[in-house]
Amino acid sequence: MNSFSRAFKSVLTGRRDEVVTDAPYEDSGYIRWARVRDWCGRIEDPSATATVKGPCGDAMTIDLDIAEGVLRRARFETDGCAATYACGSLACSKAEGLAVLEALRIHPRMLLGELDGIPGDHLHCAILTCTALYRALALYLLARDPQSSSFSGT
């Protein structure tokens, strides 16, 4: 098992003793974000929810609690890898407190810029996360006024 696999396994199991201390991924920003569980889970009776399945087979669900046009809470659930967990945690942390249309400014490149160390073959995890976020936001906006082709910003 290579050092990335050991680091990934430690994220999923929560057992740091399975990580080689000199593993190049051990202290990377994305491993730290993958361990954060503050935004993991579901919201009971969300204002909007969306699930997207990526080309790798991972699924990402994002739930949003929105009041007066502001994202009060954002949570995610995934069956994906450590990179998907990291992207979900960072995206939800950035979304909370933003107006609905401001949250649309969260984009994959922004996430990847803050999640140093994601292996090149996992960059699509940021796209998966943002796609789920965008879909949840769009469903919220459409549910508010399905006849409207323009949105007021909240």
| 104 in a structural domain | yes
Question: What pTM was estimated for this model as a whole?
Answer: 0.79
* Residues 61 and 91: beta-carbon distance below 8 Å: no
Share of the chain above pLDDT 70, in %: 76
Can you tell me whether residue 65 is helix, strand or coil?
Answer: strand
Instruction: Tell whether 7 is covered by a domain.
Output: no
> How many domains are contained in the chain?
1
| Helix/strand/coil percent split, the chain, to 5 | 45, 15, 40
pLDDT of residue 41: 97
Residue with tokens 């998966």, as numbered in its chain: 128
> Which CATH number do you get for residue 83?
3.90.1010.10
Domain housing 140 = 38-144
More confident position, 123 or 153: 123
